[in-house]
Homo-oligomer: A and B are copies of this chain.
Amino acid sequence: MMDEKKRMDEFMTQCRERHVRVTPQRVEIFRQLSRCAEHPAAETLYERVRETMPAISLDTVYRTLSLLEAKHLVCTVGTVDGRTRYDATTALHYHFICDRCRSVSDIFRGEDDTFDPSIVAAGMGDVDAVNIQLRGTCRNCLDRASA
């Protein structure tokens, strides 16, 4: 795992490359999103960011996520209970979404994984982002149900 300082420097560099102004709010939103393993919705992330930046407003979180997603600095994981969930990792990977507890977990690709979006979409157009959701019941919920 990349250390945080390096990750934040990279974020700021990419912002400048894409003409996205670097503001304290954007930096903090990205930092907290990177730290969250839970793939939070806007409001959840807002609560998190408020701990270190109490004056921030919810609409700034919405606007920032929406901007960063458009610039592919962040990606959406899908919608759970009507709320859009986000991920700071844009590298190709999958998500397991539990329909029972609403948790979202990363699934990183195995060595033998040959799934290739640009081959799959050959002829359809240019692919900028990929979102792969596997929905079902997670191990925790299965264990709890059988206990």
Contacts and interface: CB of A to CB of B under 8 A. Distances in A.
Given A79-B84, A107-B120, A115-B115, A126 B130 contact: no
A135 B124 contact: no
A122 to B, nearest CB: 9
B139 A123 contact: yes
A129 B124 contact: no
Interface stretch (A12-20, A29-37, A41-49, A92-100): A92-100
Contact of A137 (B96, B110, B128, B135): B128
Interface of A: 78-79, 84, 94, 96, 98-99, 105, 107, 110, 113-115, 117, 120-121, 123-142
